[in-house]
Structure 1
Amino acid sequence: MATVTITIEGKQVAAEHNSTLLSVFKENDVLVNQICGGQGMCASCHFFVVGGAESLTQPTQQEKMTLQFTKIERPGARLACQTRAIGEGVVIELPIGTFVQSEQDLETKIGRKADKTLIHPMTGEVLVEAGKLVLRSALEKMKESSSKFADYLSKK
């Protein structure tokens, strides 16, 4: 089988031609969430294309819809479950921070400074920047985003 080279966070890895980036991440022990089970319905497996976008498949309709819904503000966002490697020279970066596991998890952090950027587990939205105080408003933001996301999924 033909392989292509992908650079993930400065490390070059070999990937089978036409494999999803999600499978490449798993094969190379890159920690990534996949809350929707790889269906392209959430943004928990998102990454950022820094170079070689032409060596990836075009975004699927599902990926476009999901990324439109999310609040990921950085350009070059793609979903690892929907993106396939079809050529050389892809350079990607992963989101910096940690995905909050639940509303209860975020609630336990209220009143303390975030040691890492806290990211919504489904939408990829930054809830609290690293070094900032975690406020109750971050929990409300998470609840609101989760509710909107659930509504979005129920209409699918």
Structure 2
Amino acid sequence: MKQIKLQPLNQDVEVATESTLLSVLLKQEMNVLQACGGQGRCATCHVYVRDGGDALSPKSEQEIMTLSFITSSKANSRLACQARVWQDGIVIEVPQGMYIGSIGELKNLIGKRAQQNLIHPLTGEVLVEEGKLILRSALEKMAEIDSSFSTDLSQILLPPEKSTVASK
């Protein structure tokens, strides 16, 4: 068993070696959206490693690519679904806020005050800050981010078009 600390809860948790940080968060009943089902393809389990980063498994290529799309990503960012606990001494901080799963979910909140930051599920960008009124402009912002993200992702995932030369 290994010891890790969860911030901002200031809570010490004992976990089995090789456990993912996501399993730790879920065991502590933290609300983690897991939009991609733990495949490392979204940002909804994004955490910051405040200490002990070398006590975690290294980042995979998939995790590095996904983190590159997150606007709130830093050098100490990890996807909790991909980071496995190898040793003691890890301190992680969970970003404060609520991930919004869809435009429909956000639409249902229009006219209310955000109880916490409302965060885009793929990029980690704050759509509405805590305490602010949720307006239709947040829907436009989410749609714009979705469109931009899809364009960026398609450019990375699709092979470049081969130019064809007509032969005579």
TM-score by length of 2: 0.81
2:27 equivalent to 1:21:
no
How far apart are residue 65 of structure 1 and its match? 0.6
How far apart are residue 63 of structure 1 and its match? 0.7
Which string of whole-angstrom CA distances, capped at 9 and with x for unpartnered residues, describes residues 5-54 of structure 1?
11112111111112211122223322212111111110011111111112
Change over 3 Å in CA distance of 1:120–1:64 after alignment to 2: same
Letter in 2 for 1:146: D
Match of 1:7 in 2: 5
Cα distance in structure 2, aligned partners of 1:25 and 1:115: 21
2:90 equivalent to 1:90:
yes
* SS of structure 2 residue aligned to 1:48: strand
* SS of structure 1 residue aligned to 2:130: coil
* SS of structure 2 residue aligned to 1:5: strand
Which string of whole-angstrom CA distances, capped at 9 and with x for unpartnered residues, describes residues 95-123 of structure 1?
11111232122223334432211011222
Match of 1:149 in 2: 149
Match of 2:162 in 1: none
Change over 3 Å in CA distance of 1:13–1:72 after alignment to 2: same
Match of 1:118 in 2: 118
Identity of aligned residues (%): 45
Which string of whole-angstrom CA distances, capped at 9 and with x for unpartnered residues, describes residues 69-115 of structure 1?
12115552210111111111101111111112321222233344322
Larger Rg: 2
Cα distance in structure 2, aligned partners of 1:36 and 1:19: 18
Cα distance in structure 1, aligned partners of 2:23 and 2:12: 15
Cα distance in structure 2, aligned partners of 1:147 and 1:133: 24
Cα distance in structure 1, aligned partners of 2:62 and 2:49: 18
The 5 Å alignment of 1:6-155 reads 6-9=4-7, 10-73=10-73, 76-151=76-151, 152=153, 155=157
What stretches of structure 1 move > 4 A for 4+ residues in a row?
A: none
Query: Number of matched residues?
Result: 154
Change over 3 Å in CA distance of 1:115–1:31 after alignment to 2: closer
* SS of structure 1 residue aligned to 2:40: coil
Letter in 2 for 1:7: K
Change over 3 Å in CA distance of 1:11–1:49 after alignment to 2: same
Cα distance in structure 1, aligned partners of 2:59 and 2:75: 14
Contact 2:35 2:101 (8 Å CA) reproduced:
no
Contact 2:119 2:127 (8 Å CA) reproduced:
yes
